[in-house]
Structure 1
Amino acid sequence: MSTAAPRLLGGRYEVGELIGRGGMAEVHLGHDTRLGRPVAIKILRTDHARDAAFLGRFRREAQSVAGLNHRSIVAVYDSGEERILEAGGAALEIPYIVMEYVEGHTLRELLNDSETGTIEPVEAARIVQQVLEALDYSHDMGIVHRDIKPGNVMIAEDGSVKVMDFGIARAIADTQATMTQTQAVIGTAQYISPEQARGETVDERSDVYSSGCLLFELLTGRTPYTGEPISLTYQHVNADIPLPSSVEPTVPPELDAIVHHALTKDRDERYPDARSMAEDLGAFRGGMPISPVATERLDAATQTIPVAAGHIDEPGPRTDPDTASMPLTQQRRRSGGLGWLMAALLLIPIALLGWFAWDASQGEEIVQVTVPRVVGSDEDAAIAKLQEVGLDADVDTVADDAPVGQVISQDPTEGTSVPEGETVGLRVSGGPDEVGVPSVVGMSRGEATRALEEADLEVGTVTKEDSPDQEGNHVISSSPGPAEPVAKGSKVDLVIASGQVQLKDYTGQSVDEVRSEIYGLGLQIKETRRESSEEEGTILEQTPGAGKVKQGRTVNLVVAKAPPEPPGTVTTTVSPTSETTEPTEPTDTTSTTEPEPTSTGSPSGSPTSSPTEPRSTRSTQSTTQSPASP
């Protein structure tokens, strides 16, 4: 059966197995056939490739990102487009980017694998410092990352830090009306800056804010703000800045100050650039004082504030990061806000009753209006459109793949005639409800199924492969892979070990050369030696033969050995001069000699002479004469 040729991009890059999948692209392990090295190939999903405006921005962005060259940035080697034909025959250009393949793990995977879900403070500072150094370089090159998160930071096998996905987030952001819509594509509402949440333009200080969120999570095991996407965007804009030590008391005060300064709502009061924050982290790691502005602003922010009108607490700086004054102060502010909110809510029914009584007394005719179409609009735009015709909106946020904040359905539908003042129900996307895929490699099929179900996921397609590394019915790999974010209820495909391995025919080969290969398949070897004219060590027979065999089976090999020499064999060495003999001395004809007896073989096989042989007679036996004989 013939094997299909590998998919080839640009006539050069072989597309291999899928190693990552995100909301906008898929990443494959690839092979550069020209340079003979592994690469990672990010291929845009076809649904994004249909947007002509996006394609133009992606092309320009890919060109600029390819110029980035920094030790802490995953290198981009090449980019291009693959033309495919859709079902209707239309041609579609699919962009791709060829990147450096990094052996290692993402920060997301390391956090998920950690028992505490955190990273030791000094190591966390080192990692984020290298991230900021990469950002400082990219900012100098005119590129804002816009999507700093644990899933976009790799830790290589040697501990070095590599930042991924430069430029692509920027290309996506350029095609969106607001950053809240963008986050549905990028999927990182936990890390967006306040200006991103408000839909304003972003700059390098937005990456500083996201880096502060990243550092907070490494120190505490959670992001600064939690909740649904809509709630998260509100918190980034309006909520108090939490301190890492309020979640994890062992966090040093210097890191509290650095995180607080990075998470300042007003970007003009934030670290002015990535380099400044990186320098503070370097100072902390070296035991040196951090910048005064960071510590002073933390002290100012943790001053005790008024609790109620006419009563003010004694102000004083917060010197102990483990004290509870900060959470208490925040609680008092929130309590005061809740009091006003409760008062307002109590007044609403009274005001409504009064309005209805007044409206009934007027006896005016009810005005009918037509419901406009708002599906596909941003939530704020939809509400404004309804208000223009005198309608109210009741918003229900639900998990959906549509961009965050986009209206996905309305009730009543467009064109319906309703009384003025009627409420239209809107279902608004809160983005996909995502979970991380658990690591199931090495588990039995039943264990993997239970682990996926506990994560609100389902088992998708199950295929079997031969593998020497996993026992039969145990998981070899999953797709999506471990820690990949996917929507709840998604299906995860599994590759299960068949319990068999493919054995080759080794007859005719040297047993010394194939032992390690056979053992590498998880098989045993039994050798039997047999005399043969073949070179010693050659495999004469193999049982079982080539084909699939069960893991752990014994392979019987019949191996050649040299036959022994036959008994009584004599090796006679003839010198180069053995054919030249001395001239025979003349025999005295008058003397009488006895006839020479016939030579007989001795038990040892060497010829012997009769003891009565005359001295004057030469032996007829062959002798060995050395070159030095006279």
Structure 2
Amino acid sequence: MSTAPRVLGGRYEVGELIGRGGMADVHLGHDTRLGRQVAIKMLRSDLARDANFLLRFRREAQSAAGLNHPAIVAIFDSGEDDSAVEGPNGTRTTLPYIVMEYVDGETLRQQLSKRKQFEPAEAIRVTEGILDALAYSHRMGIVHRDIKPANVMITSSGHVKVMDFGIARAIADTAATMTQTQSVVGTAQYLSPEQAQGQTVDERSDLYSTGCLLFELLAGRPPFTGDSPVAIAYQHVGELPQPPSVFNDAVGGDLDAVTLHALAKDREARYQNASAFRTDLENVRFGRSISTAALGTAAAVGAVATQTLPQSYAVAGSPTAVQSPVTERSERYANTAGLPAVGHDEEDDERKGGRGKAALITVLITAVLALVGWGAVTWFSNQTPAVTLVSVPTIEGMKGDVAAQTLATNNLRGEKSTAPSTTVTEGDVISQDPKSGTRIAEQSVVKYVVSTGPDSLTVPDVTGFDKDAARAELEKQGFVVSGFQEENTPDQEKNKVTKTDPAARAVVAKGSKIRIFYATGNVKVPDNLVGQDWALAAVALQNAGLQPRKETVESAKNPDEVLSVDQAGNVVKMGTSITVKVAKAPTPPPVTVTSPPPTTPGTTTTGTGTATPTP
């Protein structure tokens, strides 16, 4: 006989175990009220009596509940179940749970286990999605503090979802260090130096962890490895990482530079916000110049970007420079101490004669070239008019038409192109080449890229809107409403929106068609209640938006067993009173007691009512 599923909060049915972490188990769940799949995260029962874990688990619900972003796993509800855990001496312990968006996909950790390394273009795309989520959470005042592959989901459609804000803290919390009860909180391979040292963290700590994650996507391993978490933490604090190109030939110099800049030890020297990090990744993806700061970091650790993007992810037509061969003597030796003594060369003295002749020929050729060059310069100076140089203005962030006018005002010509962007408003300039402040000749061409906005949009949640207001909101955000569909449901009042198809928070192409479902104000009377207990039937009717009315009927059935439900299966107005006939025990027949009639002398009685005279 199958047992009834466990129900939390009167509405969430707990299903199979789909995930397990160090702090909690995750089950597939079903929201019986809204009829949708959810994921239910429950604190492990052996940790339910630990105050630190309880605080951390409750903080996750509080931190993530206010975050509404397509790249962050949504928190729908939370609560505590007081019927699940048996404590010492028979006491009951509450078990907190969080109801989350169910994500059909895999974690980055699972994908890395299969693929080892990501293609550079795919690694950039995934990291951009993570940075979108962090830019939003930081803007909302929340630092994640545990970015790692196990906390990033890739949906079956390829979208990025950041989850597990279990140790997240408010940016403004000055006590938000990474030490709790004398231990470091986080995962060793992705700890920022300030986290490893127990210092106060901020959003830049998340960016360092994201740099570690990007490094692993490209290299197939974290930037630092060791025999213990402590050994790895020491490396985060004191050792410089190798460029990811050491482990993956497909990684180019610019991508090396961006990754290494994110991994700068001093938080003041790395990316200062998620948007700056994402912009540099986007520049790599489109073959544009990356920030001077990133190039400077790469040069400081000896990983100067001597080549641009490999062909695997370069924009068509972008050049790929090649490392020039080392030919000078000074380049063949590490320092001046390694150079041959003055007056001697590396060659054997037996070849001095040949070298003398070669040197004489070289001097003669150099003299001839110098004379030719002097003559050319003299001629061009007499023929070519003087060139007027102008400074390139800043047009990034301007509207496209304003940028064109600004360039014309400065005697420059603009060459416009377009590209989608999730961070730059549609119609604004994303980037320019040359950069602002560069001195170039008048009438030179300045190339600039204008944003066409995101090529995909997130469906807004219009649940509870009036259906016409919902249409206006969806059309305002770039969707096409394909029609309306009635729905008999108790979840909303008449003419209020119950859901959309595609559903709220789904990421779809710009201009997609959306169908709106709205409540009719009617509901269907459940038709599967006969045989159930009256209490369960009453709850089911109330959840359906109806008013149950009990009527008892004598029956041989079990007491309170439902015998019939008025209008079962029919559609009626929400709030209608529904009569439910339930069984009660039949009234037993009355017991008749017969008293004997009074007797007189000289008579005897026989039977129950007959008197016989005695002789």
Larger Rg: 1
Higher relative contact order (CA 8 A, sep 6+): 1
What is the TM-score normalised by the length of structure 1? Answer: 0.46
What is the TM-score normalised by the length of structure 2? Answer: 0.47
